[in-house]
Structure 1
Amino acid sequence: MKIKQYRTQFIKELSPFYDAYEAESFFYLILEDKHQLRQIDLALNHELFFSEADFVVWDSLLAQLKKEVPIQYLLGKTNFYGLDFEVNENVLIPRPETEELVEWIISENAASDRTKKIKILDIGTGSGCIAISLAKNLPNAEVYAMDVSKKAIETAKRNAAKNDVDVTFIFQNILETEELKCQFDIIVSNPPYVRNLEKQEIKKNVLDYEPHLALFVDDNDALIFYKKIASLAHNNLLKNGQLYFEINQYLGKEMIDLLGKMDFINIDLRKDIYDNDRMISCKVSI
């Protein structure tokens, strides 16, 4: 069968699960990954075809997509902040909103004195997307990254090697951490923040396949990670050090109140590309 014909069939079979634009994007992602062919290649050569062996691979992927397995897990990779990352069932798939958080940090620190090292700690690193992107784009950064999952740490280590950056990884549960071992210029975290009451808003591809350990918190203590990390930051941020968080879109006011009560200053709440409260930064009052 010609590839163009299969493309039509592929999109049609996914129509009960995804809109046509998304289904088409899946088709071209797989085409490039498995055959090193781009959309332009198919447009220029209508005679390209799949072999019988190709159909086995494509039909298997199609069956998984019908179950709403994330395309990133099927391909084993995704792009974040211009870098390639391995992703699997042990780590969250990096989101565009998190790229905005990374951009914020880089924009505020790229002009710093490059002869002076800055120490950064990423708490709950997952795939390592935040830590690795910062290490790649801030040459004077000494980056540390912590996670409670050994398998996530293993994935993040491979991503650091893939992207040719040095990151020190720490296997540790932040909720059980009494003190950090050194001082930092920047502490950043995208911790679990989705309340159980919000599960009905979560798409099936996230709810059924991404690690709940990295997603959900108890309804009655939704800010548990923020409280802990902010408390540690009080003792471990250097003078003029900055604390950055990605947050639950519904809890922006609560985060401002929390950080204010903990004597943080210069509290800055920002919206993401979808106009949701998503990022916050502050400094320790010294």
Structure 2
Amino acid sequence: MKIKEYRSQFIQELLPIYDEGEAESFFYLILEEKRQLKRIDLALDPELVFSEEEMVLWNSILEPLKLEIPIQYLLGKTSFYGLDFEVNDDVLIPRPETEELVEWIIKGNSNTERFKDLKILDIGTGSGCIAISLAKNIPNAKVYAIDVSEKALATAKKNAVINQVDVAFITQNILETADLNQQFDIIVSNPPYVRNLEKQEIKKNVLNNEPHLALFVEDDDALIFYKKIAALAQKNLLENGQLFFEINQYLGKDMVALLEKTNFKNIELRKDIYGNDRMIRGTI
């Protein structure tokens, strides 16, 4: 079958579930990954065809897509901050909003002397996307990353190798941690922050496939991770050290109040590209 014809069929079968633009983006993601062809290649040579073996492969991806399994899990990889990351159902799929957090950290420290020898800790690292992106873009920094899930850390370690960076990974339950036992210039975390009451807002492909351990918190203690990490940061950040969080968009004011209560200074709440309160910074 001509690839161009299959493209129309592929998109049509996904239309009841995804909009046309999203379905088309899936097609070209798979085309580049499995056939090393880009959109322009197909436009320049509309007579290109799929073999029978390729048709079997494409249909094996199409069927789970129709069940709303994320394309990133089906391909086993995704892109984050210009880097390639392996992903599976042990880790969250990195989001564009988190790239903004990484950008804030890098740009906010790039013009200081401290940038040369920063010690950075990423708490709840998951796929390692934050820690690895920081290590890649701040070459002289010493980066540490904590997660409670050994399976998540196994994936993060693979991603460090893929991206040729050195990150010290530690299996640790931050809620049971009394002290981090060393001092850091920067502590960053994108902890679980979705309340159970917000589950109805979560797309099925996320709700049914991504690890709930990394997503959800109880409604009556939604800031449990933030309280713990802020308290640890007070003890384990160096003078003028910075604490960065990705946050629940509905709890921006609560987060400002929490950092004020925990004696942080120069608190800044930022919106993401969608206009939602999404990240916050405080200094010691």
Shorter-chain TM-score range: over 0.9
Q: Name the structure 2 match of 1:138.
A: 138
Matches within 5 A, 1:36-55: 36-55=36-55
Q: Which runs of 5+ in 2 are unaligned?
A: none
Q: 1:115 to 1:127 in 2, by over 3 A?
A: closer
- TM superposition shift of 1:117: 1.3
- TM superposition shift of 1:113: 2.3
1:83 maps to 2:83: yes
2:121 aligned counterpart, secondary structure? strand
1:92 aligned counterpart, secondary structure? coil
Q: Name the structure 2 match of 1:159.
A: 159
Q: Name the structure 2 match of 1:207.
A: 207
Q: Distance in 2 between matches of 1:190 and 1:108?
A: 18
Per-residue CA deviation, residues 246-284 of structure 1 (Å, 9 max, x unaligned), is 000000000011111111111100000000000000012
Q: Which amino acid aligns with 2:134?
A: L
1:79 aligned counterpart, secondary structure? strand
Matches within 5 A, 1:1-286: 1-113=1-113, 116-284=116-284
Q: Distance in 2 between matches of 1:78 and 1:115?
A: 28
How many residues align? The count is 284
Q: Which runs of 5+ in 1 are unaligned?
A: none
1:169 aligned counterpart, secondary structure? strand
- TM superposition shift of 1:140: 2.1
Q: Which amino acid aligns with 1:152?
A: A
Q: Distance in 1 between matches of 2:87 and 2:116?
A: 33
- TM superposition shift of 1:151: 0.6
Q: Distance in 1 between matches of 2:131 and 2:253?
A: 27
Q: 1:240 to 1:222 in 2, by over 3 A?
A: same
- TM superposition shift of 1:121: 0.1
- TM superposition shift of 1:51: 0.8
Q: 1:115 to 1:3 in 2, by over 3 A?
A: closer
Which of structure 1's runs of 4+ aligned residues deviate more than 6 A? Answer: none
2:146 aligned counterpart, secondary structure? strand
Q: 1:138 to 1:228 in 2, by over 3 A?
A: same
- TM superposition shift of 1:116: 4.3
- TM superposition shift of 1:114: 6.8
Q: Which amino acid aligns with 2:140?
A: N
Q: CA RMSD in A?
A: 0.9
Q: Which amino acid aligns with 1:210?
A: E
* Native 8 Å contact 1:2 1:49 kept in 2: yes
1:140 aligned counterpart, secondary structure? coil
* Native 8 Å contact 2:143 2:166 kept in 1: yes
Q: Distance in 2 between matches of 1:138 and 1:33?
A: 29
- TM superposition shift of 1:115: 8.2
* Native 8 Å contact 1:76 1:87 kept in 2: yes
* Native 8 Å contact 2:115 2:138 kept in 1: no
Q: Distance in 2 between matches of 1:65 and 1:262?
A: 45
Q: Distance in 2 between matches of 1:98 and 1:36?
A: 28
- TM superposition shift of 1:78: 0.5
- TM superposition shift of 1:181: 1.7
Per-residue CA deviation, residues 23-66 of structure 1 (Å, 9 max, x unaligned), is 00000000010011111111111111111111111111100100
2:250 aligned counterpart, secondary structure? coil
What is the identity percentage for the equivalent residue pairs of Structure 1 and Structure 2? 74
Q: Distance in 1 between matches of 2:111 and 2:123?
A: 24
